[in-house]
Amino acid sequence: ENIQNAVRAAQKIRTERIQLDEKIRKDMESLRKYVLEERQQSFAHKTSNGFVKVCLGLEALPQSKAEDLKTLGQE
């Protein structure tokens, strides 16, 4: 009887561990998706604010040329 109790206890622990591992895996997957979405939103926000400057390299241009390009882009 003691052996059967030990076997049942071991099976219960194993089952609980499998369930816990599955929950952890799902939680990690959810966290991974959340982090990716946050990064994409952050990147999109940064991109929408600085996209033209980065693409056209306005930071590296003299101020007058940068203003000319900005004006041209608005027309």
Which tokens belong to 24? Answer: 């952890």
Q: What is the pLDDT of residues 30-64, one digit of tens each?
A: 888 888 887 777 666 555 555 545 444 445 545 55
Global pTM exceeds 0.75: no
Q: Give the pLDDT band of residue 74 (cuts 50, 70, 90).
A: low
Secondary structure (DSSP) of 30-55 = HHHHHHHHHHHHHHHHHHHHHHHHHH
